[in-house]
Structure 1
Amino acid sequence: MATGFSIVDPEEIPKEQFDTCETMVRKLTEPLGAIELRVNQVLVDPGEVTTPHTHEGQEEVFVAMTDGQISIDGEVHDVPEGGVVRVHPDTVRNLCNHTGDTHVWFAFGAPPVGSVDDFGAYVLSDEEA
């Protein structure tokens, strides 16, 4: 069983190249001990484009740590620093950078469990109840 929490400094995780493109990624899932969520820090240098893709049965959420760009079904969207993007499993998405600065993103993905209306009850400790 994983511990109850973990703290990771992404800068301490080595960068790796994605299998399908030149873009660098820091894979944070294992260092965090995450078992039901995939977490990556994606570093998109000027001129880079990640591979357009979908995920079978998995929504993905991207958080822009800097100003960034994401292509959704072939249309590029500018996302401000701190902006959050949710992408449906069947929607084609890829990160891109048509600017002069490196874009830094966090990408979160989890397989579906339950639904938005029924994702599980909150469990409060005896002290909070």
Structure 2
Amino acid sequence: MSDGYAIVDPEAVPDDRFQTCETTVRRLTEPLGAEEMRLNQVVVDAGEVTTPHTHEGQEEVFVALTEGQIAIEGEVHDVPRGGVVRVHEDTVRNLCNHTQTNHVWLAIGAPPVGTAEDFGAYVVADEE
């Protein structure tokens, strides 16, 4: 069991990459000692698009730390700074950035299926 709380500066967590694209991710689950959810900080560079996917058995919440964009079932939605998006496990989603500035997100998945590295049962959507 982890301590009763944890405070983590995401910038102190090493940058990593997702398995399917070059997007910067800082994996916060283990540094926070989270046991009932998975957490990542995701930095989507200008012009970048992450891989459309679902998380089998895991609902996901995205918190926009800056203004951001998310595609849900292929439709791009602008999200204001501080905006919160919940996505059902079966819904295809991906973060995208069709602007000139970086977007920063906090991605939270629960229940904690898979491992902190896999961030749940990651399912890449079939390309049509």
Band of TM-score, shorter chain: 0.7 to 0.9
Pairwise CA distance, 1:35: 1.1
Q: TM-score, normalised by structure 1?
A: 0.85
Partner of 1:60: 60
Partner of 1:77: 77
Partner of 1:91: 91
Partner of 2:41: 41
Instruction: Give the greater-gyration-radius structure (CA).
Output: 1
User: 1:37 and 1:90 mapped to 2: Cα distance?
Assistant: 18
Runs of 4+ in structure 1 displaced over 3 angstroms? Answer: none
Pairwise CA distance, 1:57: 1.5
Pairwise CA distance, 1:19: 1.1
Is 1:21 the equivalent of 2:18? no
Pairwise CA distance, 1:108: 0.2
Taking only the aligned residue pairs, the percentage that are identical comes to 75
Is 1:100 the equivalent of 2:100? yes
Q: Which amino acid is the alignment partner of residue 104 of structure 2?
A: V
Cα root mean square deviation, aligned: 0.9
Unaligned 5+ segments in structure 2 are: 113-128
Number of corresponding residues:
112
Pairwise CA distance, 1:89: 0.5
Specify which structure has the bigger relative contact order, considering alpha-carbon pairs within 8 angstroms and separated by 6 or more residues: 2
Unaligned 5+ segments in structure 1 are: 113-129
Q: TM-score, normalised by structure 2?
A: 0.85
Name the SS of the counterpart of 1:55 in structure 2: strand
Q: Which amino acid is the alignment partner of residue 59 of structure 1?
A: E
| Bigger strand share | 2
